[in-house]
Amino acid sequence: MKCPYCHHEDTQVLDTRVSEEGDTIRRRRRCNDCDKRFTTYERIELAMPAVVKKNGSRTEYDTAKLRASLTLALRKRPVAAEAVDAAIQRIEEKLLSSGQREVISGHIGELVMRELKRLDKIAYIRFASVYKSFEDVAEFQDAIAEVGHERKSK
């Protein structure tokens, strides 16, 4: 590891600690040249698949966009931030476990709809109305009936 102060390439690890969650390693280091100390962190880096949009263009996966979509649908709804975080984590785990290097944006939309249906039925209808481009009241009624039917069958 290169020293951030003098850029010398020879540093010594003085202390290593694993985080409580077990997903990060903290290393305290000392430069053998300038004798300054610094800390480095080692984390797992997983590559999310690229997103293929409807028009065929490709973009990097962006957690902030996913969070913004969920937050907009859940605006003024009684859903805890922890529940939103858990939903995002489940969506990202599904994307990672698929092993695909690219994912169609529509697939992410379907995963979001599934999570919103679990979290809040109103937010689900809001998101579905935009995502599925509802054109008339009948489409809203169908979506509401679908959610209502699931509720009765439980």
Residue 104 burial class via C-beta count within 10 angstroms: exposed 0-12, middle 13-18, buried 19 and up: middle
Same domain for 65 and 39, yes or no, is no
pLDDT at 8 (0 to 100): 95
Write out pLDDT tens, residues 23-61: 889 999 999 999 999 999 998 777 889 999 989 999 999
Q: Please state, in angstroms and rounded to a whole number, the distance separating the CA atoms of residues 92 and 96.
A: 6
Domain that holds residue 28: 11-43
Same domain for 39 and 55, yes or no, is no
Give the confidence band of 79 by pLDDT, cuts at 50, 70, 90.
very high
Judge whether 15 lies within some domain: yes
Write out pLDDT tens, residues 67-76: 999 999 999 9
Same domain for 63 and 86, yes or no, is yes
Same domain for 73 and 144, yes or no, is yes
The Cα diameter of the chain in Å comes to: 74
Residue 22 has pLDDT above 70, yes or no: yes
Write out pLDDT tens, residues 110-150: 999 999 999 998 898 888 877 666 677 777 677 777 777 66
